[in-house]
C-alpha cells in the first residue's frame, strides 16, 4: 500500500505535501508526453484528508442520498446506471492551485506549491447530473445544490455547492461519474462515485460522493466557504485565516476556471544541444473556464515586446463531430454540448539560433470571452488561479 497504508501509487508522481494527505502531480514533461488523455496513475491528486476506505461490497451498497428541497430519495450505482442514460465524456480537471509555486516564490500563500501539473484529462463515465435533478423534482425555493463527500476532515466533511440553475443545465456537462478511462474510479479519485464539473475549478468535483442537498443557501462547508476563494489582494495570509470575516464574501467564490497556458517543451531545466540551423518546436497546453475555447496563443522571445501566433490543436473536437464509437469505452459523446471541456495544445516551431539569442520564452493565451492572461501576477492569500504569462528562462552554457 501507499502512504495511506492501502492505496498503491505511481512512483513518478511528485509528492507536494508530507506523507499525508496525499497530494501529487506528474512532472510537466511526463504529463505532456501522455498526450490528450492522462493515464489514471499520472492524473494529479488533491486530497484534503485520508482516502475513505471503500471495498467492493461497500461500493455495491453505496448510496447517493438526495435531501432537502426535493423528493428525498437515494440511488445506488446500479440505480443510476439503470434509471438514466449513461454517458462517457472527456473532461479536463484543474486544481485552483495549479501554478501556485510561482506565487509562493513571491510571497508564501496559505497553500502548497503546485507546479504546472495540477491539470489532467480523462474520460469520465456516469450519468448527467441534470437528468438526476429532474427526477428528484427540486421544490420552489431551492436555489443551490450542495454536495458532500464521505471524507472526514478536521472542520467537518468535504462539501461545496452549485447554483441549481447551472447544475440543471445539460450544456454545462456536470456528471455523477463512477468510471475514469474505462475503469472504476481509483480510491484517490473518488471511488465509488464522484461529481465531475467541467470547466470549473477541480475543488467543485466532489469525490466519494455521499449526499446531495437541495437548499435555499450555498454550501456552508469549511473549504467552500473559507478556502476556495480568490481573496482581494490586501487580505494577507494571517488575516485570511480569521474565519467569518468580512472578506469571506460569496462574491469572491471561484466558479469557472480562468484562461491559462504553460510551456512544457522546453522544460525549465532542459538542455538544448542542437545545431543553430535546426528547428525546435515549442509546445505546451492552454485552457480556459466556463466552456470557453482558447482562440489564440501567443509566443514572445523578447519578454513581451512582440508576439507571434502559435498553432492550436483541440483533440476534444474529435468527440464533437460525431458521437464517437470507441471499442474500449463505448459511446463517447460531446455532441450534447457546444461548450469546451478540455485543454488544448499549442505549438510553435522556431530556429535554435533564434532561441539561443533569447533571454526567455513567454506564452500567453486568450479565450472566447477575450480574456487574456495578464502580464502581472494577481497574488492572493489562498494562492489560487495564478495565470500570469508563463515564462521559461533561457540560460546560455559556455
Q: List residues binding ligand MTE (CB under 6 A).
A: 43-48, 93, 95, 149, 151, 158, 188-189, 202-203, 205-208
* Phi and psi angles of residue 60, each rounded to the nearest 5 degrees, phi first: -65, -35
For residue 57, the minimal CB distance to ligand MTE (Å) is 21
The catalytic position among 4, 151, 188, 227 is 227
For residue 329, the minimal CB distance to ligand MTE (Å) is 18
The catalytic position among 23, 104, 228, 380 is 228
Burial (Cβ within 10 Å: 0-12, 13-18, ≥19) of residue 328 = exposed
Closest CA to 317 of 36, 35, 33: 36
- 256 as an active site residue: the answer is no
41 CB neighbour count, 10 Å cutoff: 15
- 95 as an active site residue: the answer is yes
For residue 5, the minimal CB distance to ligand MTE (Å) is 18
The catalytic position among 4, 47, 95, 386 is 95
Residues sharing a CB contact under 8 Å with residue 380, sequence separation 6 or more, in sequence order: 103, 109, 230, 231, 232, 233, 235
State yes or no: 265 annotated in a binding site: no
Beta carbon nearer to ligand MTE, 94 or 136: 94
DSSP 43-83: S-EE-SSPPP---HHHHHH-EEEEEESS--EEEEHHHHHHH
For residue 185, the minimal CB distance to ligand MTE (Å) is 8
Residues sharing a CB contact under 8 Å with residue 206, sequence separation 6 or more, in sequence order: 147, 148, 149, 158, 159, 160, 190, 194, 195
Beta carbon nearer to ligand MTE, 209 or 297: 209
Beta carbon nearer to ligand MTE, 31 or 363: 31
Locate 397 and state its grid cell. 552554457
Total residues found in the chain within this entry: 398
For residue 82, the minimal CB distance to ligand MTE (Å) is 25
Q: Whole-angstrom Cα distance, residue 292 to residue 70?
A: 32
Beta carbon nearer to ligand MTE, 129 or 282: 129
Residues sharing a CB contact under 8 Å with residue 294, sequence separation 6 or more, in sequence order: 259, 261, 286, 287, 288, 312, 344, 346, 365, 366, 367
Beta carbon nearer to ligand MTE, 24 or 127: 24
Q: How far is CA 313 from the centre of its chain?
A: 19
- 265 as an active site residue: the answer is no
Q: List binding-site positions.
A: 95
- Residues taking part in catalysis: 95, 227-228
Q: List binding-site positions for Mo-molybdopterin.
A: 95
Amino acid at each position: 500500500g501507499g502512504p495511506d497504508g492501502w492505496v498503491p501509487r505511481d512512483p513518478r508522481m511528485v509528492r507536494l505535501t508530507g506523507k499525508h494527505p496525499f497530494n501529487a502531480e506528474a512532472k510537466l514533461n511526463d504529463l505532456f508526453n501522455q498526450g490528450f488523455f492522462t493515464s489514471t496513475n499520472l492524473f494529479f491528486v488533491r486530497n484534503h484528508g485520508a482516502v475513505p476506505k471503500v471495498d467492493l461490497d461497500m461500493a455495491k451498497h453505496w448510496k447517493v442520498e438526495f435531501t432537502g428541497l426535493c423528493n428525498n430519495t437515494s440511488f445506488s450505482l446500479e440505480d443510476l446506471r439503470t434509471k438514466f442514460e449513461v454517458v462517457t465524456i472527456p473532461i479536463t480537471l484543474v486544481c485552483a492551485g495549479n501554478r501556485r509555486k510561482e506565487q509562493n516564490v513571491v510571497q508564501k500563500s496559505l497553500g502548497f506549491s503546485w507546479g504546472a501539473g495540477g491539470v489532467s484529462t480523462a474520460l469520465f463515465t456516469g450519468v448527467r447530473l441534470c437528468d438526476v435533478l429532474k427526477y428528484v423534482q427540486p421544490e420552489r425555493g431551492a436555489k443551490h445544490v450542495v454536495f458532500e463527500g464521505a471524507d472526514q476532515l478536521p472542520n467537518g466533511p468535504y462539501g461545496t455547492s452549485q447554483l441549481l440553475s447551472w447544475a440543471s443545465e445539460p450544456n454545462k456537462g456536470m456528471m455523477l461519474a463512477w468510471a475514469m478511462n474505462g475503469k472504476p474510479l481509483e480510491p484517490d479519485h473518488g471511488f465509488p462515485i464522484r461529481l465531475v464539473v467541467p470547466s470549473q475549478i477541480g475543488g467543485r468535483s466532489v469525490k466519494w460522493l455521499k449526499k446531495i442537498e437541495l437548499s435555499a443557501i450555498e454550501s456552508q462547508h469549511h473549504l467552500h466557504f473559507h478556502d476556495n476563494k480568490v481573496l482581494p489582494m490586501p487580505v494577507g495570509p494571517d488575516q485570511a485565516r480569521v474565519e467569518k470575516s468580512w472578506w469571506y464574501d460569496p462574491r469572491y467564490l471561484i466558479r469557472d476556471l480562468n484562461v491559462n497556458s504553460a510551456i512544457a517543451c522546453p522544460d525549465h531545466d532542459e538542455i538544448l544541444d542542437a545545431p543553430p540551423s535546426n528547428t525546435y518546436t515549442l509546445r505546451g497546453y492552454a485552457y480556459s473556464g466556463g466552456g470557453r475555447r482558447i482562440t489564440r496563443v501567443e509566443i514572445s522571445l523578447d519578454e513581451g515586446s512582440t508576439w507571434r501566433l502559435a498553432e492550436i490543436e483541440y483533440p476534444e473536437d474529435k468527440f464533437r463531430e460525431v458521437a464517437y464509437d470507441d471499442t474500449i469505452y463505448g459511446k463517447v459523446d460531446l455532441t450534447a454540448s457546444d461548450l469546451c471541456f478540455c485543454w488544448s495544445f499549442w505549438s510553435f516551431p522556431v530556429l535554435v539560433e533564434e532561441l539561443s539569442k533569447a533571454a526567455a520564452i513567454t506564452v500567453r493565451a486568450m479565450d472566447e470571452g477575450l480574456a487574456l492572461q495578464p502580464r502581472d501576477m494577481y497574488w492572493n492569500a489562498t494562492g489560487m488561479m495564478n495565470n500570469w504569462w508563463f515564462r521559461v528562462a533561457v540560460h546560455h552554457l559556455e
